[in-house]
Amino acid sequence: MTNTARHTTAIILAAGLGTRMKSRLPKALHRLGNRPMITHLIETAREVFDDVVVVVGPDMPELERVVQPCKTVVQADRLGTAHATNMAKDLFGDGDIAVLYADNPLITAETMRRLTAARQSGASLALLGMRPANPGRYGRIVEEQGRVSRIVEFKDATEDERQITLCNAGVMCAGADDFRTWLAAVDNNNAQGEYYLTDVVAMAAVQGPVQCVESPETELAGVNSRAELAQAEATLQARLRTAAMEAGVTLVSPETTFLSTDTVLEPDVVVEPNVFFGPGVTVRSGALIRAFSHLEGCTVGEGAMIGPYARLRPGTVCAADTHVGNFVELKNVDLGRGAKANHLTYLGDASVGAETNVGAGTVTCNYDGYFKHRTIIGERNFIGSDSILVAPVTIGDDALIAAGSTITEDVPAEGLAFGRARQVVKPGRGLEIKQTLKAKKEQG
């Protein structure tokens, strides 16, 4: 929330269909850092503005759910950005408003504060501008005698105007009453036949100085295509990686580490190359996440070692000093302190006690085709390789499960369980079978 006495409201325009995205999903709901891009903008705006209002299109119930508890208004007819902004005029309030765009999700709180500060310093209107490497089809900010006079959209620009390098990022801030007056005067006499919000800049310039706040292209560039979405993701990932390293995390190969916006990595965590962090991951201090691991919805304790090639799925909690090795998958598992599952294992819907060792090839059979069932494994157990634990089943503390066993009944503490067929050996019979099969193959 702003620290100034003047009330501020952010109006976020999010009614766009995103035709160039070639998607049925509203553009604002496409994801960055594993959450909708409009969520990034809303959370940042809440740091700066007193109120946030979102303008949505018709038949966008999912978008309306995502932006809650923000107030929403519907732009039933998509007649341009000025028209969309005008839909929210009853929610402007009496202070300043800033118009933001859902497809500009990476604007920082610092830049938003610079924008509002420019407005409150006496500008009739403040706007954000940038100098992109390729100005392309951005609107150009026209200056006369060192002051912003207007914005011209690319389609309406002359060849000389298209040579201007200062481009409009779309975001602007002014007094609510002024905006109401300007919006009422905007017409659609242009190449697109739309009501451009940028037309208010010329009106503001007549009334008083218009101030342009410049920021980097990486922060202000819009997302209108899948390629631009990927570029925005790269920008966000660079921010997240830098923040993690500045907080004391070692990323061995930062460019190959993928983080979610809510990923929590404590100091002295080490992340090897090619690791993916999905939503809801917390990794405690001193843990090592080895290469090619995938983590989502899980917690990794202090000093734990995960991977390489491990997968931790939602609901998993690995306590301190646990080891989860290569090609091990855990889903909704509590792995007790010092417990190990070092290779080729699936544990689902299970509790594993402290200091238990789970051998290679162990599987908890947690699903019967209709319901999930839980496996309870006590402390200090040894689960032999290639064990099949058919849930629901409980294994007490200090038990031993013989390799190759299928366990369908509870095992008491300190018990030894065998659940495999008795071995039968027939001398010479193996060679005889091999010779018979070889002869059959040679005969065709």
CATH at 172 = 3.90.550.10
pLDDT at residue 1 above 70? no
pLDDT on residue 221: 86
Q: Residue 20 — very low, low, confident or very high, per pLDDT cuts 50/70/90?
A: confident
- Is 420 marked within a binding site? yes
Residue 323 near residue 308, CB atoms below 8 Å: no
The answer on 425 and 322 residing in a single domain is no
Give the domain range for residue 281: 247-338
Residues in the chain, total: 444
pLDDT category of residue 423 using cuts at 50, 70 and 90: confident
- Residues 288 and 168: their CA atoms lie apart, in Å, by 45
**Residue 299 annotated as part of some ligand binding site:** no
Same domain, 147 and 264: no
**431 and 328, same domain (yes or no):** no
CATH number, domain containing residue 291:
2.160.10.10
pLDDT at site 208: 93
Residue range 138-163: mean pLDDT, rounded: 90
Q: Specify if 234 maps to a domain.
A: no
Would you say residue 3 has pLDDT above 60? no
pLDDT on residue 19: 83
Give how far Cα 439 sits from Cα of 433, 434, 443, Å.
10, 9, 6
Tell whether 230 is covered by a domain: no
The pLDDT, as a whole number, for residue 146 is: 78
Q: Are residues 134 and 177 in the same domain?
A: yes
Could you tell me the pTM of the whole model?
A: 0.90
Residues 185 and 294 in one domain: no
Amino acid 33: pLDDT: 97
Whether residue 373 is predicted with pLDDT greater than 50 in this model: the reply is yes
CB 41, CB 49: distance < 8 Å = no
pLDDT interval class at 5 (50, 70, 90): low
For residues 284 and 380, state if they share a domain: no
- 171 and 37, same structural domain? yes
75 is in an annotated binding site: yes
Task: Tell me: is residue 16 an annotated ligand-binding position.
Answer: yes
Do 295 and 324 fall within a single domain? yes
State CA 431 to chain mean position distance: 59
Average pLDDT score over the chain: 94
Instruction: Give me the phi and psi of 277, to 5 degrees please.
Output: -110, 110
Cα torsion angle, 196, 27, 96, 205, sign: negative
Find out whether 222 is annotated in a ligand binding site. Answer: no
Mean of pLDDT values over 260-286:
98
Which helix (H) or strand (E) segment holds residue 171: the answer is strand 167-175
Q: Has 369 been labeled as part of a binding site?
A: no
Q: Does residue 316 fall inside a structural domain?
A: yes
In terms of domains, do 100 and 116 share one?
Answer: yes
- Give mean pLDDT, residues 134-148: 87
> At 4, is the pLDDT very low, low, confident or very high (cuts 50, 70, 90)?
very low
Average pLDDT of span 324-350 = 98
The DSSP string of 56-125 is E-TT-HHHHHHTTTSEEEE-SS---HHHHHHTTGGG--SSEEEEEETT-TT--HHHHHHHHHHHHTT-SE
Query: Going by C-beta distance under 8 Å and a sequence separation of 6 or more, which residues neighbour residue 399?
Result: 378, 381, 382, 411, 412, 413, 414, 415, 416, 417
Residues 6+ positions from 130 with CB-CB distance below 8 Å: 166, 167, 169, 214, 215, 216, 217, 219, 220, 221
Res. 18 pLDDT band, cuts 50 70 90: confident
Domain presence at residue 386: yes
DSSP β-ladder status, 71-74 and 51-56: parallel
Domain count of the fold of the chain: 3
Report pLDDT for 2.
43
373, HSE (Cβ side, Cα atoms, 13 Å): 15
| pLDDT at res. 190 | 82
Residue 364 in any domain: the answer is: no
- Is 331 annotated as contributing to ligand binding? yes
Among 160, 185, 220, the domain boundary falls at 220
**Whether 334 and 349 share a structural domain:** no
Q: Are residues 334 and 351 in the same domain?
A: no
CA angle 358, 394, 328 (to 5 degrees): 25
Active-site amino acid positions: 343
The verdict on 304 and 430 lying in the same domain is: no
Q: Which of 255, 305, 245 is nearest to 275 (CA)?
A: 255
Judge whether 162 is annotated as a binding position.
no
**Cβ pair 140, 151 in contact under 8 A:** yes
Is 348 assigned a ligand-binding role in the annotation? no
Residue 374 is predicted with a pLDDT of 98
What mean pLDDT do residues 148-164 have? 91
